[in-house]
Amino acid sequence: MTIAGNAQGLAIGSKAENFSLPDTNGATKSMTELKGEKGTIVVFLSSQCPVVKAYNERLSKVYDDYKAKGVNFIGINSNSTESLAAIKSHAEEHYRFPVLIDTGNVIADKLKASATPEILFFDKDGKLAYHGAIDNDRQGDNVTSNYLRDAMNEYLAGKTVTKAVTAAFGCSIKRVGD
């Protein structure tokens, strides 16, 4: 398990560069194509990480709650140690949003992601509004801070996101050469 100290991450307010990656069926999808009208959540995932598994249900609830508000989700798996079959099976079982395959960790490197699950929330203009953890509890039994929901609620209400960076925690992204 790792804790990502987002101090070295992408700066809040930075504009996302468009990227294209294959989904679990091999179809190439771009961020521009998948972005939401009011914002886009990029979530780095793993089919093996126990912390991601503990978040699957919570992620689905966040997706359900914000999809209708114009916020789309893009899952990205950047783990060099996971097979396409495992990623596809996990995605089909748990998510209703696309999961893209980041072979070679190119997008994880560009977005400065280091853990799974790790969230980047980009506003409607593609600027980073939040980077970090979903909430403050690995297992979901004692959540006292809903970082992602709080950030999105503030943004959607036209307010400044007050806690724009938190430390993402979970499993490290297994990079090529690790």
Output the average pLDDT for the chain: 92
Q: Which domain holds residue 57?
A: 40-172
Interstrand relation of 71-77 and 99-101 (parallel, antiparallel or unpaired): parallel
The CATH number given to whatever domain includes residue 67 is 3.40.30.10
Residue 6 lies in a domain: no
Per-residue pLDDT of 58-88, as tens digits, reads 999 999 999 999 999 999 999 999 999 999 9
Alpha helices in 5-112 (DSSP H): 31-34, 50-67, 84-94, 106-110
Residue 45 lies in a domain: yes
Residue 16 lies in a domain: no
Q: In the prediction, which pLDDT does 178 show?
A: 60
Q: Which residues pair with 41 in a beta bridge?
A: 73, 121
Residue 178 lies in a domain: no
Q: Which two tokens stand for residue 147?
A: 């970082």
